[in-house]
């Protein structure tokens, strides 16, 4: 989904989006049942936590310096889920968040490649159809809407959050 904005080689070298510490486990990607089942088949023993209608991988309590890597990450080849990775991963570093009852698209400040670019470029990329896809997907899958984090710049307001 982010072709034209991020290259596979830049993402492949970085992979910061696949590791979580104690301060950002809330960023864990939300998976539908199909993706969860595929990951479970590829990585037997992976544990999951059920959210309202979705799943996230269980990482347990992390110490301050501990990093939990997504079980879908193969350190040599990248994501073993390929094109079937969670929607959260497909749009990262964009994030869908709840800002005072409004659904907004933000950008994660830890992606150095993206965060170094002018915000106008990131907004323009959203306006080429990605914002519509994000809005539609998040309407059908409200579990991907995270609580707002003040360090994430808001790029687009999608409107009032619809309860499902």
d(CA 43, CA 127): 37
d(CA 135, CA 158): 7
Of 18-22, 41-45, 129-133, 142-146, the one with minimum mean pLDDT is 18-22
Q: What is the mean pLDDT of the chain?
A: 90
If you average pLDDT over residues 104-118, what whole number do you get?
89
User: Sorting pLDDT into bands at 50, 70 and 90, what band is 163?
Assistant: low
Q: Residues near 95 by Cβ (< 8 Å), separated by ≥ 6?
A: 27, 88, 105, 106, 107, 108, 146, 152
Q: What is the pLDDT of residue 112?
A: 84
If you average pLDDT over residues 150-157, what whole number do you get?
94
**Full-model pTM:** 0.89
User: Sorting pLDDT into bands at 50, 70 and 90, what band is 72?
Assistant: very high
Cβ atoms within 10 A of the Cβ of 55, count? 23
For residues 64 and 56, the answer to whether their CB atoms sit within 8 Å is no
Q: What is the pLDDT of residue 147?
A: 94
* 35, two tokens: 């993706």
For residues 42 and 34, the answer to whether their CB atoms sit within 8 Å is no
If you average pLDDT over residues 33-60, what whole number do you get?
93
User: Sorting pLDDT into bands at 50, 70 and 90, what band is 58?
Assistant: very high
User: Sorting pLDDT into bands at 50, 70 and 90, what band is 141?
Assistant: very high
Q: What is the pLDDT of residue 98?
A: 96
User: Sorting pLDDT into bands at 50, 70 and 90, what band is 1?
Assistant: low
């Amino acid at each position: 989904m982010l072709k034209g904005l991020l290259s596979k080689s830049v993402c492949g070298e970085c992979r910061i989006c696949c590791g979580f510490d104690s301060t950002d486990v809330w960023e864990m990607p939300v998976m539908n049942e199909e993706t969860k089942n595929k990951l479970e088949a590829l990585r037997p023993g992976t544990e999951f936590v059920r959210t309202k209608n979705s799943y996230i991988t269980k990482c347990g309590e992390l110490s301050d310096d501990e990093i939990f890597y997504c079980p879908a990450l193969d350190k040599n080849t990248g994501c073993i889920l390929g094109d079937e990775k969670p929607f959260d991963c497909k749009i990262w570093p964009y994030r869908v968040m709840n800002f005072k009852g409004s659904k907004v698209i933000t950008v994660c400040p830890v992606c150095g490649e993206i965060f170094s670019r002018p915000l106008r470029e990131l907004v323009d990329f959203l306006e080429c159809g990605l914002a519509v896809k994000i809005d539609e997907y998040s309407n059908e899958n409200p579990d991907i809407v995270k609580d707002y984090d003040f360090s994430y710049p808001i790029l687009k307001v999608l409107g009032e959050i619809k309860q499902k």
